Amino acid sequence: MEDLVRRIDAALPQTQCTRCGYPDCASYASAIASGEADINQCPPGGSAGVDRLATLTGRPASPLNPANGIEGPLTLAVIDEDWCIGCTLCIKACPTDAIVGSNKLMHTVIEPYCTGCELCIPVCPVDCISLEVVSGERTGWAAWPQEQADLARRRYTERTVRLAREKLEHEQRLEAKAKMKLADLAAHSQHTDPATLDKKRAVIEAALARARERRGPT
């Protein structure tokens, strides 16, 4: 099963657009392998993508499900820098870290990393992001070479690892801060009533216990 999932994932365009109904290409590949999803739910792959998946799974090819979208050309996100307010929402939404910038500063798109997933568009509060067709009349796999798909997968994987690391580091900082307060709660509280301090101590200890449970055995 795992080998089939890997082969199906490798046959997907890796735009990570979620139009298939799953959070990423790997999740869609897993759903196909388990029989949960059909092979015609990936608009970026187009009809050629359906044929790829049909060959891998032995299922009959069928037209793209219109509920998931239609086959189209490769697009590139373009940010109107005169209107960008630097909110960073598009940066957080981009699955391949193709948008750079920082809070309250202008953002821009790194063209080779953009998959045209469109996930940045709905989160922009000032509608300053548009899509530019960059593949002419070519659509599906004809517009999206395997090299770009491989790069997109690598970028998405690296981003996933980075976010997990940053989440863990954030939780560790919060846990260290909680332990410091717990060690001398009276010094870190405006309250002096012993009963109130005991309640605070119980809350902090419960939070630390939940954190240890989430982290699991070390």
Q: Are 29 and 50 in contact (CB under 8 A)?
A: no
For the chain, the maximum distance between any two Cα atoms, rounded to a whole number of angstroms, is 74
Residue 174 lies in a domain: yes
31 and 63 housed in the same domain:
yes
> The tokens of 178 are what?
């909680």
Residue 150 lies in a domain: no
- Tell me the C-alpha distance between 23 and 102, whole Å: 25
Tally of domains in the chain: 3
In a domain, 135, yes or no: yes
CA-CA distance, 64 to 54, in Å (whole number)? 12
All residue ranges of the chain with pLDDT < 70 are: 182, 184-188, 190, 193, 197, 200, 215-218
The predicted pLDDT at position 45 comes to: 97
Q: What is the pLDDT of residue 20?
A: 98
In a domain, 149, yes or no: no
pLDDT of residue 4: 94
CATH of the domain at 41: 1.10.15.40
Range of the domain at 61: 2-68
The pLDDT of residue 195 is 74
| Angstrom distance (rounded) from CA 49 to CA 104 | 40
